[in-house]
Amino acid sequence: MSQKLHQAEQLHSTLPDVEALSLLSEHSFPRHAHDQFGIGVLTAGAQKSWSGAGTVEAAAGDVIMVNPGEVHDGTPIGGPRGWRIVYLEPGVVLRELAAEFDGDAVFRPVARDQVLAAQVAKLVEALQSPVSGSAAEELLLACLVGVVRRHRLSGPRLPPASPSVARALAWIEAAPDAEVSLSELAAACDVSRFQLIRGFLRDVGTTPHAYRIQLRVRLARRHLRQGHALAEAAQLAGFADQSHLTRAFLRQFGITPGRYRDAMR
């Protein structure tokens, strides 16, 4: 059996709280979420994704977007697909767009917008140039203005989680590094294990254990950004060892934690 194509590069960024990633891959990404907003452009191929707005498809040239904490996945259609994407800390978006909207920004998952796609591509290039700081800042703002004015999500979204699932989510998010069995979690939410699993799959799109692991990966990512060593980040996030973190990190983000940490230096 031939090995699936997977090429990923965490790109250098000249702007604080802004990251960039380039990827060409045949892999299917499991359902997961990011702490940041993401704005990217599909450079090749096509993919199908489950998102907060339901199932969507994107083809080369389309703009792809993700909201903080929004569970999504990604499956290639007919072969490898590639994208270049910029991830922004929520504070950056809220600070820069404070005058554009009231409340939280919600970006739609896919948009066919040639102007915005070209701006995103230019932004990724500008972020890597040490002499184009002002240009990168202007392109970033232009992208955000385009997204907010043309691609804020206004249609139906997935319904909110049921009370029992909401309680379980709060429990897990309060201490993602803690070990809690399914029985303990179900008892704390006054439901059976079957009811909790069924509710999670319906409302979140994944199991409680899988949700906890992806939260740990996001926690480890934050520790790596803060300069922690790989083994230390793994321990702080609740992983048994560095190898467990590496496998989960690669599966969720498409890049190893070591390469991610190196790009953040």
pLDDT of residue 104: 58
* Listed residue (60, 52, 56) closest to 117, CA to CA: 60
Percentage of residues in the chain having pLDDT higher than 90 = 74
The model carries a pTM of: 0.89
Q: Let me know if residue 158 belongs to a domain.
A: no
201 has pLDDT over 70: yes
Are both 124 and 183 inside the same structural domain?
A: no
Q: Give the pLDDT band (50/70/90) at residue 251.
A: very high
Q: Let me know if residue 179 belongs to a domain.
A: yes
Range of the domain at 38: 6-150
Mean pLDDT of the chain: 90
Helix (H) or strand (E) holding 66: strand 63-66
Are both 13 and 134 inside the same structural domain?
A: yes
Are both 36 and 127 inside the same structural domain?
A: yes
123-181 pLDDT per residue, tens: 999 998 876 668 899 999 999 989 988 998 765 456 678 999 999 999 999 999 888 99
Are both 30 and 138 inside the same structural domain?
A: yes
Three-class secondary structure of residue 79 per DSSP = coil
Q: Let me know if residue 156 belongs to a domain.
A: no
Are both 17 and 144 inside the same structural domain?
A: yes
Are both 21 and 136 inside the same structural domain?
A: yes
Are both 240 and 143 inside the same structural domain?
A: no
Are both 168 and 251 inside the same structural domain?
A: yes
pLDDT, average across residues 18-34: 94
Are both 88 and 171 inside the same structural domain?
A: no
199-211 burial, b at 16+ Cβ within 10 Å, e below that, comes to: bbeebbbbebebb
Are both 214 and 95 inside the same structural domain?
A: no
Are both 176 and 225 inside the same structural domain?
A: yes
Are both 138 and 236 inside the same structural domain?
A: no
Task: Single out the residue in 150, 173, 196 at which a domain terminates.
Answer: 150
Percent of the chain that is helix, strand, coil (3-state, to 5): 45, 20, 35
Q: Let me know if residue 52 belongs to a domain.
A: yes
Task: Single out the residue in 150, 180, 202 at which a domain terminates.
Answer: 150
Quote the number of domains for the chain.
2
234 has pLDDT over 60: yes
Q: Give the pLDDT band (50/70/90) at residue 183.
A: very high
What CATH number should be reported for the domain holding residue 232? 1.10.10.60
